[in-house]
Structure 1
Amino acid sequence: MIWGCTTTSEVLLKTQLLPFVKKCFRTTKRCIIQDDSTPCHRAKKVRDFMKTEGVVQLTRSGNSPDLNQIENCWYLMSKRLIRHKLSSKQELINTIRKVWHEEINEKYLKTLIQFMPRRIKADIKVHG
């Protein structure tokens, strides 16, 4: 994860997550957010904020990266970053943006979504 500063969860939720969610889901009144159930995502302050804003948090195990599509995105990103000899913070930022926009695009994300039923069936088969 790349952060150029430290922020409080409330600032991040109010200025980044909530506006993004409202923009993406402006045609529906119900929004569900999936996270990896880490303690920072389950803090009382975060839960209270989400409840106040009408956002439902989908509870799932953090030990199921195969069912969390963003893990595929981070894996692809790390594979692409390893290929580059980056010598500055700006080169890193530029490369991340390039990979995100050129490779982690709508087509890639749709492919991940299309394979989700197969992953769920495989997970159920293994874990019962």
Structure 2
Amino acid sequence: MTYQEDFIVFWQQVKQSIKEEAFAKLTMAKTIGKPELKNIFLRPIYADGEFKVILKYSFRPRETEDIEEEMTLEEALIIIKEHLKTSFLSVLLFSTAKDVTFKINKKGIGTITENYPTFKNVS
């Protein structure tokens, strides 16, 4: 199975956590090399019956200001896919039900692991 196929399975878990209102945060981590972009975070906005996210770009040099944008989950997915395997090798889903980690190894194979939840509440 390719990492893209595994990522689809992972993204279904992201959507399920949103449906259950358990989605707390999503983090792209494990950068490739030493880029200025350190992390990408998604945080939920549950408002007016519509789900949106705040997408935050966090940069390594502290002098560089972080960038935040409000968008739909579908818009965020496009950005995450653009950075997957080019800038980051892992994506972590934090929900109140469980933490799910998607990783791509050096051979380009994706894996999904689950752990106990880090967050007890969605803020």
TM-score, normalised to structure 2's length?
0.25
Question: Which one has a bigger Cα radius of gyration?
Answer: 1
When you count strand as a share of all residues, which structure comes out higher?
2
- TM-score by length of structure 1 reads 0.24
**Structure with greater helix percent:** 1
